[in-house]
Structure 1
Amino acid sequence: MDNSTKISKLQGKVQPYTWGGSQFIPALLGQSNPDNKPFAEYWMGAHVNAPADLIGANGQKQALNEWVAQAPAALLGNTVNDRFGRLPYLLKVLDVKDMLSIQVHPEKQAAVAAFAAENKQGVALNAPNRNYKDDNHKPELMLALSDFWLLHGFKPAGRLRKVLQQTPELQFLLPVFGEGDYAALYKTVMEMDQQTVNHHLQPLLDRILLLYEKGALKKEQEDFWAARAFNTFCEPGRIDRGIFSIYLFNVVNLHPGEAIFQDAGILHAYLEGQNMEIMANSDNVLRGGLTNKHIDVPELMKHVRFEPIVPTVIKGTPGRVAGEEVFLTPVNDFELHRLNVTAGAPVTVTATTADIYFVYEGSAEATAGNDKIALGKGEALLAKAGTQVQFTSGEKAVIFTATVPA
């Protein structure tokens, strides 16, 4: 790819994880999916596991990570290159049909050390029992595109005690939790032998499954997601211990346009819905249940923040140009913007680093100097650091921008 090019079309990569839906992302990308294969995530970034492709004027493709490596300072800008040495973020679209795993992400220093240790042990990067795919942390922001449900951090102590008290089968955990011993509580349920897990959870499931099948449970109730988790993940003789976490964590409902930030150490799990997600350029996930993927409870426990969380819903704040909203987080690896372009009202933005612009609704034309690129729904553009890009639309366009704080 010519490094003198200021803007280029970008084509992401679909991840066919089994929990994904089969309609939302294909419709967004304008692709057919006659076999109803899962389209779980659409990655737009430079992560080595699934780098997006830059599309040249003649249709030739080049992996984004390779392109950045050719001239990182010119493409990323000196500040971002000096700080990160790579594209620091990864932008995704997710379609969560089935619940995702109980998971946590490591802090930066821990990821560097653990990644090196697994390399030294000779664990292949694509090995199913590999915990660390790279040497980076993975704080993340998700913005709901639909009504979205997730688990996010431990409930505050009073609320958690109330849930345990009101759930007869879990009252045995009250003395373990005491006045707020989150570490003892989570250690108990995560290190419990499988026979004891079954002993405690089977009566609970016997009680709630009939209510779930009758449609008598609401999504605001932990019982709803526990019953769904049983139907999704459990096998004869093995009840998934992740069901305990549903009662211990906050059940959060985000409406379209609302966002939430998940830092290192915060246990979480996506339950249902579609979202835009932006994160540090990493694929490090430590899992503790509600999944068919590799689970490593001792490794997960090393990284958990054993403290209560009051979920903070993030709303967009006005950006630097008309129609732009910014979703702020405490990290400098990434920033998500949403740009609303109205018909006949051009908007000009300046790329802070190698910025990615993804058209979620409508269509737009991007102009940078003498370069013009038409973008339809589901298409993306990459602009080099410092590039001024003008977007015009003959209708209305909603464009998500992946960048870093200015």
Structure 2
Amino acid sequence: MNQDTIFLLKGKVQNYAWGGTDFIAQLLNLENKEKKPIAEYWMGAHPSASSTIFMNNEEVSLNEIINKNPGKYIGAKVNQKFGELPYLFKILDVKEMLSIQVHPSKTEAEKGFDAEEEAGILITDKKRNYKDRNHKPEVMVALSEFWLLHGFLTRERLSAVLQSIPEFQTLIPIFEKDGYKALYREVMEMPQPEVDKLLEPLVQRELKSQTNDKSQPGFWVTKLYKNHSGDKFEKIDRGIFSIYLFNIVKAMPGDAVFQGAGVPHAYLEGQNVELMANSDNVLRGGLTPKHVDVPELLKHTTFEGIIPSIMQGEVMENKEKNYPCPIPDFGITKIDSVSNQIINNKSFSAEIIFVTDGEITIESAENSLTVFGGEAVFILPQTAYKINSGESGTAFKAYVPIIN
């Protein structure tokens, strides 16, 4: 029987339309002659796209071996609390804007899933909101300059935006009297002809201005409609309201942003490492051809202004950089390994380490693997191991925090 505790892991590529064609292909050393969009690389045991690990010279489904022996592959305490590997680890390449979205809390996800099951809505139905009973908090660490929408502007800043845009003048009394929820409901439930009438002159003005400043909403409006020709629009996406009402956040390489339940957000551009709870529950509100359910989105949105928190990470005793996340499902660290430096560690849960650059060697008492940029390993729970590098290497580690 195989006694290895460290295994080479192979993830799954996802060819979503919003992805770039080069970044992930080059990172994973894949040919992409047809220039297909490669949006995400999944590492985990999600049943719809499970990773595989190499065991006894064979590729084995990570989801299947966890189901057969969860105590060994994710740990007894993790299995007791979550019943699965509770995280999904990803690399993203965002070329085109993602949908305006909100993720439900765990309690609300359970309610929503059960209600749709009772209603007989198939999991495969495109109008289905809840694909599972789990919440979907997530954290991203930028690999490049990365732009995203994250939460509502503070009251003072949002008021200034409404005042500065002629088309938004009629919205000022609504916001002043009844606040964020009334304002957002007004624009999200507005009949489409009114949306078109209100936003078309604004979009036309932004297209003429052609700003190159990515911190301004106009840049993203221009990008959204860069291929538009003619004077008239068939339909204006109401997601544009969110570009003006939300914080536009810039994260530099190594910066992280956590997004919990209820925080409206959307990725705009760039590459990142993303770690999330093992869920596919997304409530969408625009900037997408996918199913949009405004009432459900409004039901689960946190209506308050926020100042985005950008984490630079905290260096721990073992030299790994930790990005604290306020949930029990996952944790993430950044590993910068330099020549002759040894990082000692012991896994509590199953861990996945993905190398983004250079090379690192991971060694336990049972076996060792040297992994290069674009490669990943799966480490069994309760494994003492050390990391070193002949030259240098950068990696990110996903794990489950210790459960007492």
Q: TM-score category by the smaller chain?
A: over 0.9
Letter in 1 for 2:14: Q
1-structure distance, mates of 2:28, 2:56: 20
Structure 1: which 4+ aligned runs deviate by more than 6 Å?
232-235
SS at match of 2:42: strand
- Bigger shift: 75-84 or 12-21? 75-84
Aligned to 1:168: 166
- Bigger shift: 147-156 or 358-367? 358-367
**CA displacement 1:32-88 (0-9 Å, x = unmatched):** 111110110111111112111112231x22221111111212322232222111111
Q: Does residue 1:226 correspond to 2:221, yes or no?
A: yes
**CA displacement 1:262-319 (0-9 Å, x = unmatched):** 0000000000000101111111111000011111111111111111111011111012
**CA displacement 1:323-372 (0-9 Å, x = unmatched):** x1000011111111011111122322211200001111111222222312
Aligned to 1:108: 106
Aligned to 2:279: 282
Aligned to 1:259: 256
2-structure distance, mates of 1:187, 1:232: 29
Aligned to 2:375: 379
Q: Does residue 1:318 correspond to 2:310, yes or no?
A: no
Q: Which of 141, 144, 151 is 2:139 aligned to?
A: 141
User: Structure 2 vs 1, CA of residues 319 and 83 (structure 1 numbering), >3 Å: closer, same or farther?
Assistant: same
Shift of 1:232: 6.8
2-structure distance, mates of 1:3, 1:319: 33
Shift of 1:135: 1.0
Aligned 8 A contact 2:94 2:270 in 1: yes
Shift of 1:186: 0.5
- Bigger shift: 115-124 or 332-341? 115-124
Aligned to 2:360: 364
1-structure distance, mates of 2:132, 2:90: 18
SS at match of 2:88: strand
Aligned to 2:26: 27
Shift of 1:404: 1.9
Q: Which of 381, 390, 394 is 2:390 aligned to?
A: 394
1-structure distance, mates of 2:2, 2:106: 31
Shift of 1:4: 4.3
Aligned to 1:12: 11
Shift of 1:217: 4.0
**CA displacement 1:113-144 (0-9 Å, x = unmatched):** 21122223332222222211111000111111
Q: Does residue 1:334 correspond to 2:330, yes or no?
A: yes
SS at match of 1:181: helix
- Bigger shift: 68-77 or 293-302? 68-77
- Bigger shift: 198-207 or 235-244? 235-244
Q: What does residue range 345-356 of structure 1 map to in structure 2 within 5 Å? A: 345-356=341-352
SS at match of 2:385: strand
2-structure distance, mates of 1:17, 1:350: 36
2-structure distance, mates of 1:329, 1:288: 26
Aligned 8 A contact 1:222 1:247 in 2: yes
Aligned to 1:303: 300
Q: Which of 236, 239, 244 is 1:242 aligned to?
A: 239
Aligned 8 A contact 1:15 1:42 in 2: yes
SS at match of 1:312: coil
Aligned 8 A contact 1:3 1:71 in 2: no
Aligned 8 A contact 1:230 1:240 in 2: no
Q: What runs of 5+ residues in structure 2 fail to find an aligned partner?
A: none
User: Structure 2 vs 1, CA of residues 109 and 232 (structure 1 numbering), >3 Å: closer, same or farther?
Assistant: farther
1-structure distance, mates of 2:133, 2:2: 27
Letter in 2 for 1:345: Q
Aligned to 2:199: 201
User: Structure 2 vs 1, CA of residues 397 and 218 (structure 1 numbering), >3 Å: closer, same or farther?
Assistant: same
Q: Please, what is the CA RMSD of the aligned residues? A: 1.7
Aligned 8 A contact 2:347 2:383 in 1: yes
